[in-house]
Amino acid sequence: MIRWRYLPAVACLWSTAAPAADADLPAVVVTATRTPQVAFDVPASIDAVAIDDVVDVFGVNPSDYLAGIPGVLARDRQNYAQDEQISIRGFGARATFGVRGVRLYTDGIPATMPDGQGQVSHFNLDSAARIEVLRGPFSALYGNSSGGVIQLFGADGSVPPEVSLGLVGGSWGSARASANARGVAGDVDYNLDLTHFQTDGWRDHSAAKRESGNAKLAWKIGDGGKLTLLANVLALPGADDPLGLTQAQFDADPRSVAAVATQFDTRKSVHQNQGGAIFEQDLGNGHALRVLGYYGRREVEQYLAIPVAVQANPKHSGGVVDLDSGYGGSDARWTWTGELGGRAFELAAGLSWDRQAQHRRGYENFVGDVLGVRGALRRDEDDTVRDFDQYAQATWRFADRWSLVAGVRHSEVAFDARDRYVTPGNPDDSGRVDYGATTPVAGLLWRAARGVNVYASYGQGFETPTFNELGYRADGGAGLAFDLDPARSRNAELGIKLRPSTSIDATVALFRADTRNELAVATSAGGRTTYQNIGKARRDGAEAALAWRIDDAWTLQLAWTWLDATFRSSFLTCAGTPCTTPDTPVAAGARIPGIPRSALHASLRWGTQRGWHAGASGDVVGAVVVNDLGTARAPAYAVAAVDAGHAFELDTGRIDAFARIDNLFDRRYAGSVIVNDANGRYFEPAPGRAFMLGVKWTWTR
């Protein structure tokens, strides 16, 4: 049970605490409220991570930068065919590939499609300035599938201009090379980047190569105007997919793969190009306008390990997935900053529209006796999903020590499937389904004392099924799974933000999210997974974080999460494979799989970025249930890492060099899990002890 009544007492005790050292932590400014505000003064759990502040990491995946944020579980799956596994306060934990239940953005362009599916493979971290993470009720202001929001922001051009070249090498043939140029030339602000990454993989059959490019160009236009152009390209050719392991396989050899992975040469290729433009204009008298437009194409080819025999079913869609997607959208926002009743007031209102048109084809993954090759066509359909949202939110500092933030969003999401592959044994699967929701949210903040802010917030959210979850009906009939309802949640949060001195930032938050119509697996047979709605689910939790600049040389960071995520209604699920009808009861109170009850991250750093520096970090993560029945789980684990580096100052720039050891004590553990895997291959092993060396040369004109 959450002890909400303890928070005011904690605030009073902290307000009398002795000041710490004089070294300053910067005030963090965030934009999740759609107008720039200091995070300390926002009645929500929101954090920003400056990319340059996270040193001595590989710099390829968002998980390198998100470890210090409570409530966020970002897991590098060591499988670049399936993207990272990210959940926020338990939302998104059921995703077996990609990211669901969490909204993703890069420079304002959605990386989450209108149906709620997202990916972070194209996040270009080498050119980024910061990552913002919003948790709790206010996430609902971003629409469908916003159990949390992660936004990546590219850096502006630097003054003076600079060019940097970076190279990082590590164990198992892992390497990253990057080139970046950023600066200001007249009215033009630019940030250009190229990054190459490759790895042989710690596990067998897990090699990957990834190329990415990113460009951000901005022009000042007239009086108070600005135009920003964005471009991003990604090539991920032939990333091997090692699949998960059963418990027995994991215990015997965590570096191994299931035999079917090599038999069918499971792999994935992705090519994506996208561009966007943002126009901002100061209209005077506190009014401003911002208009965003974007378009992109994403091509995916994936070879799955579906046995030949099950594809004999005429309704089966094959073992090769071929997706060609065009996507785009726009967002128009008006903001006004002024006064209401003689007090500071900010208002933002806007419209957003997004659309994805996806040509989905399926092929057999064999030709005769040859496996892992493209065979006969088994699926051909056009899937379209679009959303149209309207939103408004306001911030009013209505008293000296009080402020109110409130907003509402109305969302409409429409799915349309047009089946082009109709045979006597495979009927027409065409269909359409529409969803809609209005999600209000409000938060109240009280400045209880100097350096002590207490807040409470409440909001509603919703999550539609994705196209993958709508694709098959549990009864085996033709058409979309029209019986699936969107999950709807009620979210409450109570928290304290503490800043007793300029060297300490601390937060404590208690939260509860009650969800009805939670989505869960219904059946799994013949390579097809269908879904069902569960009556009720609950996520109770607590978060705490501390950033302490002990003195000019030492910094301590702690992030702790406790989360009790359970089904509140009983339901039937599958206990074996194949399973065409749920037949095994799951009792109310059972844990939602994929979510550890506790997670702790700690790091201690010494030195500065202008000389010698070193650090040590550790993570302790609780056991994770991996299926709805709770019959299997990944054990708890604790791992540590150390690093050291030095910055060499040059006349025209500097050289940064570092060394790092991950999994210092060579622990064996499952770094991530595949929830409800039909074959019992739940476990994705994390690497053993890994070494890394990196160098970056920055030339400044």
Convert the pLDDT of each residue in 157-202 to its tens digit: 999 999 999 999 999 999 999 999 999 998 999 999 999 999 999 9
In Å, how far from its chain's centre is CA 57? 19
Q: Is residue 479 part of a domain?
A: yes
Question: Does 609 have pLDDT greater than 90?
Answer: no
Residue 426 is classified by DSSP as B
Over residues 658-695, the pLDDT tens digits come to 999 999 999 999 999 999 888 889 999 999 999 999 99
pLDDT on residue 582: 87
Q: Which residues pair with 402 in a beta bridge?
A: 399, 446
Report whether pLDDT(281) > 70: yes
Give the strand pairing for 103-106 and 148-154.
parallel
Average pLDDT across the chain, whole number: 91
Domain count of the fold of the chain? 1
Q: Does residue 379 belong to any structural domain of this protein? A: yes
Q: What is the pLDDT of residue 98?
A: 79
Residue 562 is predicted with a pLDDT of 98
pLDDT band at 18 (very low <50, low <70, confident <90, very high): very low
Q: Tell me, letter by letter, the H, E, C secondary structure of 103-121.
A: EEEECCEECECCCCEECCC
Range 397-416 average pLDDT: 96
> Which residue, among 553, 460, 545, 549, has the nearest Cα to 40 in the 3D structure?
545
Band of the pLDDT at 77, cuts 50, 70, 90?
confident
Q: Is the pLDDT score of 20 beyond 70?
A: no
Task: Tell me whether residue 195 is in a domain.
Answer: yes
Q: Which residue has the higher pLDDT, 7 or 465?
A: 465
Residues 573-596: tens digit of each pLDDT: 887 766 778 889 999 999 999 999
- Please tell me the predicted confidence (pLDDT) of residue 526: 65
Residue 1 lies in a domain: no
Q: Is residue 252 in some structural domain?
A: yes
Mean pLDDT for 603-616 is 91
Mean pLDDT calculated for residue range 463-486: 85
Tokens describing residue 134:
């919003």
CB atoms within 10 A of CB 401: 11
pLDDT tens-digit map of 523-566 = 876 667 889 999 999 999 999 999 999 998 999 999 999 999 99
What DSSP letter does each residue of 528-567 carry, written as one string? EEEEEEEEEEEEEEEEEEEEEE-SSSEEEEEEEEEEEEEE
- Residue 5: per-residue pLDDT: 45
Residues 692 and 7: their CA atoms lie apart, in Å, by 42
Write the DSSP assignment of 212-276 as a string of letters: EEEEEEEEEETTTEEEEEEEEEEEEEEEE----B-HHHHHH-TT---HHHHHTT-EEEEEEEEEE
At residue 540, the pLDDT reads 96
Residues with Cβ within 8 Å of 451's Cβ and at least 6 positions away in sequence, in order, are 14, 15, 498, 499, 500, 501
506 within some domain: yes
Contact 64, 58 (CB under 8 A): yes
Question: Domain for residue 639, yes or no?
Answer: yes
What is the structure's pLDDT at 678? 83
Using a pLDDT cut of 70, give the percent of the chain over it.
96
Banded pLDDT at 291 (limits 50, 70, 90): very high
Mean pLDDT of 240-250: 95
pLDDT band at 11 (very low <50, low <70, confident <90, very high): very low
What are the C-alpha distances in Å from 609 to residues 53, 430, 478, 661?
9, 58, 60, 19
Domain coverage including residue 230 = 6-700
CATH code for the domain in which residue 130 is found? 2.40.170.20
Segment of 28-32, 134-138, 519-523 carrying the highest mean pLDDT = 134-138
pLDDT for position 183: 96
User: What helix, strand, coil percent values describe the chain, rounded to 5?
Assistant: 5, 60, 35
How far apart are alpha carbons 83 and 684 in whole angstroms? 13
Residue 318 lies in a domain: yes
The string of pLDDT tens digits covering residues 488-531 is: 999 999 999 999 998 999 999 999 999 999 988 888 766 678 89
Task: Over range 2-6, report the average pLDDT.
Answer: 44
The whole-number pLDDT of residue 22 equals: 44
pLDDT beyond 90 at 357 = yes
Residue 313, CA distances (Å) to 319, 361, 476, 522 in order: 12, 17, 12, 20
Length reported for the chain = 701
